[in-house]
Structure formats: structure tokens, C-alpha cells
A = this chain, B = another copy of it.
Amino acid sequence: MRRVRMTVQYDGTAYHGWQEQRRPEGGAVGAGVRTVQGTLLEALATILGCRVRIEGAGRTDAGVHALGQVAAFDLEREMPLARLEAALNSRLPPDIAVADLAEAPPTFRPSADAVSKHYRYRLWADRAKPVLEARYVWHWWRPIALGPMEEAARHLAGRRDFASFQSRGGEREDTVRTLLRLEVAARGREIHFDVEGDAFLYRMVRNLVGTLVEVGCGHRPPEWVAAAVEARDRCAAGPCAPPQGLCLMAVRY
């Protein structure tokens, strides 16, 4: 029995997330819902002739992308990993790729063992509509200033109680997390929010971005963000940014 670690990349547009997060009202779990995990499972099952259990590092939401998702499964067969990787990539649809397969210690747990996760959020800050980037950015056509967002970000970085940034549907009671990095930077017509943390609450990155954008567009002063953290109340922070701007860049161990 070998434990295999897999780096997965996907365009999340067509998927209900990595794994279904909440069952539809009255519907059966996973009924007719396409997920990245489910698509990988099917491809693996066809190649291996048996079903395996795949664990992922981060449960990305519907419409969220990944360039560095990490997952793991147990492999009973002697198959060389390079051959399995090629077989997977030729069987997976064009919007999912396995970037790497490697042997891992038998106890490897992609989520529990992670030291940090790095997400990038892309805001298209230009009046002109994005076209080739439309699936990967949040289009913000009104004026937006970098300086106030950088100032506000300093109220968010570090070890804090992020209760104000957990959306309904997340039921974590311990809401203290550490943001190792929260950088706001202009990249051509885009603004990138690079967020790295030890762990994240439900929709936390998108709620952080939505809150910073409230400051960047002048609706709120940078200090308001400190008060929003203090309140420990979702209603005190800004709205949730749309999913398509978000990408899981890397998981560190």
C-alpha cells in the first residue's frame, strides 16, 4: 500500500467546488452535482478498476480555481506514478490537470498536515470589460485606491479572531486564525490580493477581499476594518467577493 500525494490544478467555473459543501434543499447529497473531487475519483476508478478515497487540502467553493490544490489517496497497485499521471491527465477534462504525483509518508493528511495555504484573489480594476480573463477575475469598474487597502490590510494580518469573516454555513466555534501574509498589489490592470494563512474559515478569503474593497472604493476608512474584526459579527464586515476571482495557489507543509 502506497500513499500518493497529488498536486491538482483546475478551472472551477464548471464545478460545484472541490467537494459539495452543502446539500441542496430537500435534495440528496451530491445528486447530479459535478465536483472536482468526484471527477478525479471517476477518472481514478476507471484507470485502477476500483474506487479510492481522495482527501483534499482545501475545500474550494463553486467557481473557485486552483493551481496548487493538494490531495492524497492510497494506491494498492504497483503502477509507476508517471504512468498513472499520464493516464489521469488524458482521461480528465481540459479544465482539470494533475500537475504532480509523488510518494508520500503513509500517514500523510493533506489538510491536517498543511502549515499554510496561499490564495490569490484577482480584481480587474479597469472600466474596460475583461474578456479572456472574465472567468478568473472580479470586474470592478469604479475607481479604487491601493493605499487605503494596504493600510486596512495591516489591521487584518497576524493572529486574530476572524469571526466577522466566517460566512453562514461555516460552523467553526474556534474562529482564531493566523494570517501570515495579506498583500495588496497592482499588476497591470489588475489588483492582486495574496493571502496566506494557517487555516481559513468558510469563505474567509472572499470576505476579507470584499471588506478591503469597501475601503479601496472609499465607502469606509481603513480604521473601520479594525472595528469590523473587533465586532466578531459577520454583519460588521464587508460583503463576500464573487468566487471567480479566487485561486488556491499553493499548500505548504
Binding site for B on A (CB under 8 A): 9-11, 65, 67, 89, 92, 94-97, 99, 128-132, 134, 136, 247
Give bound CA distance, A79 to B96, whole Å: 46
Q: Are A134 and B89 in contact (CB under 8 A)?
A: no
DSSP majority for the A interface? loop
Q: Which residues of B contact A136 (CB under 8 A)?
A: 132
Q: Which residues of B contact A65 (CB under 8 A)?
A: 131-132
Q: Which residues of B contact A92 (CB under 8 A)?
A: 129
Q: Which residues of B contact A99 (CB under 8 A)?
A: 128-129
How many subunits of this chain does the assembly comprise? 2
Give bound CA distance, A97 to B97, whole Å: 29
Q: Are A129 and B94 in contact (CB under 8 A)?
A: yes
Q: Are B97 and A67 in contact (CB under 8 A)?
A: no
Q: Are B131 and A11 in contact (CB under 8 A)?
A: yes
12 additional A-B residue pairs with CB within 8 Å, beyond A9-B132, A11-B131, A65-B131: A9-B129, A9-B131, A11-B134, A67-B131, A92-B129, A94-B131, A95-B131, A95-B134, A96-B131, A97-B128, A97-B130, A132-B136
Q: Are B132 and A67 in contact (CB under 8 A)?
A: yes
Minimum CB–CB distance for A143 against chain B, Å = 16
In chain B, what residue has the closest Cβ to A136? B132
Give bound CA distance, A96 to B131, whole Å: 6
Q: Which residues of B contact A9 (CB under 8 A)?
A: 129, 131-132
Q: Which residues of B contact A132 (CB under 8 A)?
A: 9, 11, 65, 67, 136, 247
Identify which of A96, A128, A247 gathers the most chain B CB atoms within 10 Å of its CB: A128
